[in-house]
Structures are given as C-alpha cells and as structure tokens.
Homo-oligomer: A and B are copies of this chain.
C-alpha cells in the first residue's frame, strides 16, 4: 500500500520504518523535498520503498496519510500538503499541540477545542482520525514489547474511517485493545492527557510505557 508520513522527526521515521519493513511503499513528507532527516532515513532503510518528498508530494502519493509533524506546525504542514491531495483520504493524526519551551509542558490549544478538531475543520474533505498520540513512538509501532496489552484510542467523525484505522493498528502494529472514544471532539481528552503523560514519563524515568483501561 502507498502510505504518506508527514514529518521527518523520530515519530515519522519510526512509523515509516515499520511500514517499510511490512512491505509498504512509504513517502516521508517535509517542508523541503531534500530534508536531511528524510534523505538519511531513506538511505538507512536501503529499500526502494522508502521514499521522500515535499508534504504535497507525500499527500498525493499516499492512499492513507499519517500526520507526524509537531503539533505547533501541523496546520501549516497540512496546508502545504494540500486539501485537494488529501481529499477523501484518511489522515491518522498522531500529533499533540505541545509547547515544549518550558520545563513544564503546556498545550497551545485545549479544553474548549483541540488540534484534532482544528485539523478536521480546516480539511472537511479528509477523514481525520486522531490516534496513537498517547504514547511514545516506539510503543506506537510495537505495543507487544510492553509487559501487558495496553490500550490505544480513536477519535473521529467517520465510523468507517475509524474502523479502517482500527484494522491498520491491528494489522500493522499489533494493537489488540483499541477503544473508539467518539467523534473528533474527543481529541480534547487524549491531547490533554499529554500533560499527564509528561508527569508519568518523569515519574517512571522512561518513555516506554502506556496505559491499559481496566473495567469491572
């Protein structure tokens, strides 16, 4: 399958590499066609299916699109990707609207709005599914490396798109516990959890953790 990964940081590279390993054709998209991270990534993959290009190139290429850009840059990056190029496609939004500039992280949008909602609002022709944003990228692509089955969440307005993403999470990364939270407004909760996540990271001195929902 042809998959676009927007963002060439560690999240984009980790997801991109996993998908290439699975045999998919992956194009890493960035602001510049010759982004050094993307060039290096493709070189290290040594795989003809590891491609790179602009946000627009990638969005055009992908049948499905991952947003792995920094939350603060996401709307701009997606503008460059182009609404027409993303039209009718699923956008799996892994981003969090974090401001990392202070020791204690804050969100640039929260409580009465969310980045997930802003993206869906800006690109009404695209099926935005917020997911995977509640964990480190190594956990995203290999949840089985944790000692127990943990939980990943879906937020989005299209039930069909969420069902498709659920299948991707299962088939590509091995997720076995996927909870559909509801429409895209439920992005608020999972994005606000990023602040809690920072505390958990500090308390556990690790990034390799996740939460598991336990009911009675």
Q: A211's closest neighbor in chain B, by CB?
A: B211
Quick check: is A22 within 8 A (CB to CB) of the other chain? Answer: no
Report whether B216 and A147 are in contact in the complex, using a CB–CB cutoff of 8 Å: yes
Report whether B211 and A215 are in contact in the complex, using a CB–CB cutoff of 8 Å: no
List the number of copies, as a whole number.
Answer: 2
Are A181 and B203 also in contact (CB < 8 A) when A106-B111, A110-B110, A209-B215 are? yes
Report whether B203 and A195 are in contact in the complex, using a CB–CB cutoff of 8 Å: no
Which of the segments A37-45, A166-174, A184-192 contacts the partner chain?
A184-192
Q: How many chain A residues have a CB neighbour from B under 8 Å?
A: 43
Q: Known pairs A189-B195, A206-B216. 10 more at Cβ < 8 A?
A: A106-B111, A146-B214, A146-B215, A150-B214, A153-B199, A155-B199, A181-B199, A189-B199, A192-B196, A211-B211
Please list the 3 inter-chain residue pairs (A to B) with the smallest Cβ-Cβ separation, ordered nearest first: A189-B196, A192-B192, A208-B216
B-binding residues in A (CB < 8 A): 104, 106-107, 110-112, 145-148, 150, 153, 155, 179-182, 185-186, 188-190, 192-193, 195-200, 202-204, 206, 208-216
